[in-house]
Chains A and B, each alone.
Chain A
Amino acid sequence: MRFLLDDEQREFARALDGLLGSAGTPGVVRSWACGDHGPGRALWGRLAQAGVFALAVPEEHEGLGPLPVELAVAFDELGRHAVPGPLVETVAAGALLGRLGGDTARAWLPQLASGKAVASLCVLAPGGSPYALDADAADAVFVVDGDTVRLARSHGPVQPSADPARRLARPLGGVVLTQGPAVEVAAAHAADVAALATAAQALGLGRALLERTVEYVRLRTQFGVAVGSFQAVKHRLADTLIALEFAQPLVHAAALALAADDPAAGREVAAAKVSACEAAYGAARTALQLHGAVGYTDELDVSLWIRKARPLRTAWGTPTACRARVLAPDGRG
């Protein structure tokens, strides 16, 4: 057993961190929030060059995958830098089409892997979201409805989310691409990939919030000392770190389970999803509280991270649904 990222995976993370650290993501997010997708699509192209979108696409369709561990590594960095766009949905659509194969896979997967096409995905199911994320920015919106996959024709009006970088719209109409029992199996797998990517994204988001808040409380002084020297502040930050540190191995184990096609992977993914997203939301609450009033403004960039945490918590598996899955005998819940 060697339950640690290997050197190559660590190097991949460092490379993405370097790329994103100099990309000015807060500006990209603010443009995206106004419906100006230009800077976001440019960044998308660079991420594609780094291999991010090929990780969920099988090699036979010009991808590198499926590589769930590397996917988790990449999404950790995407979350850390608050990259906007249907990132999760694009890799989940890749997982869906990869499982289904056929003409649709041949037509779309190389485009997704290379970053030429951006996809969104909506799985219509009880308890699931009726919206496709960033449908207005996507080249293809795939809709799973029971045993049918459709390519949406258009979408309804854009509904703003609590996270300004998330723009939601109902997919409308469209042509049936595939139908049959294989769709439900492939869609369940795609939902697992989406939940894993969301969990990893939340982990990176939480870590960024913790780092920024630690930095802030070291500099901010009141009563003549750094507020970070107060025990009430320290303990809150310690708890934030604990939650993130214990969520991370769950995310890695879930990625390994998906990589091994483990029949219990659904349970592992659910445990990772709820833990990582609760930890990230806790980090956001801590960041807001310890920044004080200045954290409660949209002028400070940290708000872009804070506002992401809540929507990630319910996207691709609410906390309650994840907990039910953890205890379900088949891990499906």
Chain B
Amino acid sequence: MDLDFTAAEDAFRAEARDWLASHVPSVPLPSLETAAGFAAHREWERTLFADRWSVVSWPGEFGGRGASLLEWLIFEEEYYRAGAPGRVSQNGINLLAPTLFEHGTDEQRARILPPMASGEVIWAQAWSEPEAGSDLASLRSTAVRTEGGWRIGGQKTWSSRAAFADRAFGLFRSDPDADRPHRGLTYLMFPLDADGVTVRPIGRLDGKPAFAELFLDDVFVPDEDVVGEPGQGWRIAMSTTGNERGLTLRSPGRFIAAADRLTALWHSTADLAHAPETAHAVDSGSGSGSGSGSGSHDTALRDRVADAVIGARAYRLFTYAHASRIAAGGSIGAESSLNKVFWSELDIALHETALDLLGPCGELSDEATEAPAHGSWAEGHTFSLAGPIYAGTNEIQRDIIAERLLGLPKGRR
């Protein structure tokens, strides 16, 4: 048992760190949930791609570096440590691409993956419908066979970044007579500017058009844009959601970096509190402080900072253990539900702690010109609140954990 990196892995880390140090924008880009921010983030994807940093784990022929899972984790640690921008291409890279690698054709991979890697084509997911959320298999949008392809119709919703994205992928009911709801579904890809597609942006909690509703009226999808076998969409999509919940959507690097920033914030606020007029009150406190002369004025907040640091570390180590298991020939199944609940709750706790440390200024929105840290804590907090909802709600995840990992009987939801 060890936690050691090889010389090659250390060199990979150093190369990534150097590149990021000279390329990451010094001022954060505008929120990627706005038109201007989306364009700026698309440009950033192009910069990453130019030096083969946008999809490090993909094979070289598609613009990647053939990085191992561990190297990908290293890259992500460096990426977020450098404060690099959020990934506007993440739905395509994390959800669609793994599916195409597993179920797509050579033609689809050659046509779709390089422009995805460069940010030229940005993908949105089209899973949920107004009447099919957690019970996704009850979806009603249809795909009807026609010459050379399918005609799709219906309504999709909560489609992240569809307000600005180029194409979308999702599940459609192609066999209304199938005996079970999750049979007779087909996995399809379509352009968001196709005839018959109407995109209505939806403002998220803070008003930014982070997702959209899609109205599909007899939209033609050619056969070349079917992923895998028609009718097998559920099984194919589930291999994608496993990726989403598990390792690839929320890498530990994000939380390690956020916990480091939180610790720095805690030190800086503690230093303010240690101005001379309050020093005496602090020194006469419980005496159980960190001994570093900082932060001991509020042990409740200190404990929450420590819990965020511990949580980020636990998540990283848990992921290393998973990566080791995969390297040894194992696979991730229902265990990915453990990750999803853990990181989504950690993310909220971490940002709530930061906002509490900021005190009365913590309420400033990320659009406020005087928002601390360019509004990154406020934006991060808003984003974190969605974590327990998307990619399978945490209630669904806990059902999966209880039924598949603990062996409890199925019951009414």
Contacts and interface: CB of A to CB of B under 8 A. Distances in A.
**Which of A218, A237, A324, A333 has its CB near the most chain B CB atoms (within 10 A)?**
A324
A329 B292 CA distance: 7
Given A242-B342, A246-B314, A256 B287 contact: no
A291 to B, nearest CB: 15
Contacts of A237: 402, 406, 408
Nearest to A255: B1
B402 A234 contact: yes
Contact of A2 (B1, B302, B306): B1
A333 B315 CA distance: 23
B310 A234 contact: no
A5 B311 CA distance: 22
B410 A229 contact: yes
Contacts of A231: 395, 398-399, 411-413
A253 B409 contact: no
Interface stretch (B12-20, B218-226, B320-328): B320-328
A239 B398 contact: yes
B399 A3 contact: no
Nearest to A229: B411
Contacts of A177: none
**Interface secondary structure of A, over-half rule:** helix
B3 A250 contact: no
A2 B288 contact: no
Nearest to B319: A249
Interface in B157-208: none
A217 B342 contact: no
Interface in A223-280: 225-226, 228-231, 233-235, 237-239, 241-242, 245-247, 249-250, 252-253, 256, 271, 274-275
A210 B401 CA distance: 13
A100 interface: no
A69 interface: yes
Nearest to A234: B402
B237 interface: no
B292 A214 contact: no
Given A249-B321, A320-B288, A230 B411 contact: yes
A3 B411 CA distance: 36
A246 B306 contact: no
A275 B289 CA distance: 19
A1 B4 CA distance: 5
Interface in A315-330: 319-330
Contact of A218 (B292, B342, B407): B407
Nearest to A211: B406
Interface in B354-413: 395, 397-399, 401-403, 405-413
Contact of B408 (A229, A320, A332): A229
A249 B321 CA distance: 7
A148 interface: no
Contacts of B250: none
B24 interface: no
A185 to B, nearest CB: 17
A34 interface: no
Contacts of B318: 245-246, 249
B349 interface: no
Nearest to A251: B317
A245 B319 CA distance: 11
Contacts of B305: 327
A274 B398 contact: no
A275 B314 contact: yes
Interface in A164-195: none
B401 A238 contact: yes
A217 B302 contact: no
A6 interface: yes
Interface string A189-218: 000000000000000000000100010011
A292 interface: no
Contacts of B311: 246
B1 A214 contact: no
B318 to A, nearest CB: 5
- Interface magnitude class on chain A: 35 or more
B35 to A, nearest CB: 39
A300 interface: no
Given A237-B402, A237-B408, A247 B395 contact: no
Contacts of B408: 214, 217-218, 226, 228-229, 233-234, 237
A242 B401 contact: yes
Nearest to A249: B317
A252 B395 CA distance: 29
A1 B395 contact: no
Nearest to B327: A2
A4 B321 contact: yes
B9 to A, nearest CB: 8
A2 B314 contact: no
Contacts of A2: 1-2, 324, 327-328
Contact of B306 (A239, A252, A326): A326
B310 A275 contact: yes
A321 to B, nearest CB: 6
B1 A256 contact: yes
B302 A4 contact: no
Contact of A127 (B288, B317, B323, B410): B288
Contacts of B327: 2
A38 to B, nearest CB: 37
Contact of A126 (B287, B328, B407): B287
Contact of B291 (A9, A234, A333): A333
B398 A256 contact: no
B101 interface: no
B309 interface: yes
Interface in A1-51: 1-6, 9
B70 to A, nearest CB: 6
A21 B399 CA distance: 31
Contact of B405 (A5, A233, A241, A320): A241
B338 interface: yes
A333 B290 contact: yes
B398 A235 contact: yes
A259 to B, nearest CB: 9
10 contacts: A1-B324, A2-B327, A3-B317, A4-B321, A5-B1, A234-B402, A242-B342, A242-B401, A250-B313, A256-B3
Interface of B: 1-5, 70, 263, 266, 287-292, 295-296, 299, 302-303, 305-307, 309-311, 313-315, 317-318, 320-321, 323-325, 327-328, 338, 341-342, 395, 397-399, 401-403, 405-413
